[in-house]
Amino acid sequence: MPDSISICLAEPADAPGIAAVHVASWRTTYPEIVAAESIDRRSAEVRTLQWQRALAGEIRIVPTVFVAHHPSGEIVGFISGSAPRDDTPGFDAELSAIYLVKDAQGIGLGRRLVRRLADSLIERGYRSMMVRVLAANSACRFYEALGGRLLSEGVHMMDEQTYPERCYGWGDITRIR
């Protein structure tokens, strides 16, 4: 199935599908990691509006977004990246989000999405990339397997609660290829 899933640049019409993946992934990934209220607050309607704004270029830092389409046409994953939202010395790009529905995890699709984003960033002149992730998220192992180096540990504030966070980085994103 991984090879039959196509990856393409997101379009504004993809916002509802991206939002659905975003919310579904939160509901399967974060129950043991963040407060239930934070998960329950995430709605497809609100996320759709946020993704419509992002894909229309109506936000401060406009990300590049790629979507993964199942052969049925359903969006089963996405990745976004751009210039960093915060200053991280030595890193000129940020992987800001990657989410896959549960059935699309563990089949190599995440790696394909990260490589596609890295290729796009390289084409636009970026050389290095970082990502922030909650420390309790199993995605930490994913970033480490992709060669991400632990840069720092800190805390992330969400819905008036703090969570341990890690920052990983690739000093040379050509190595992700």
Amino acid at residue number 95: L
d(CA 108, CA 35): 29
The pLDDT of residue 88 is: 85
CA atoms within 13 A on the CB side of 121: 33
Q: For the chain, give the number of residues.
A: 177
Query: Per-residue pLDDT tens for 13-59?
Result: 999 999 999 999 999 999 999 999 999 999 999 999 999 999 999 99
Helix segments in 42-146, DSSP class H: 44-55, 109-123, 139-145
The encoded tokens of residue 107 equal: 């089949």
d(CA 14, CA 67): 8
The encoded tokens of residue 168 equal: 């990983």
The pLDDT of residue 153 is: 97
The pLDDT of residue 1 is: 53
Annotate 7-63 with DSSP letters as a single string.
EEE--GGGHHHHHHHHHHHHHHHSTTTS-HHHHHH--HHHHHHHHHHHHTT-SSSPP
Q: What residues make up the domain containing 38?
A: 2-125
Confidence band for 86, pLDDT divided at 50, 70 and 90: confident
Checking if the pLDDT of 77 tops 70, the result is yes
Reported pTM: 0.95
Q: What's the total number of domains in the chain?
A: 1
Residue 42 within a domain:
yes
Contact 68, 5 (CB under 8 A): yes
CATH code assigned at 113: 3.40.630.30
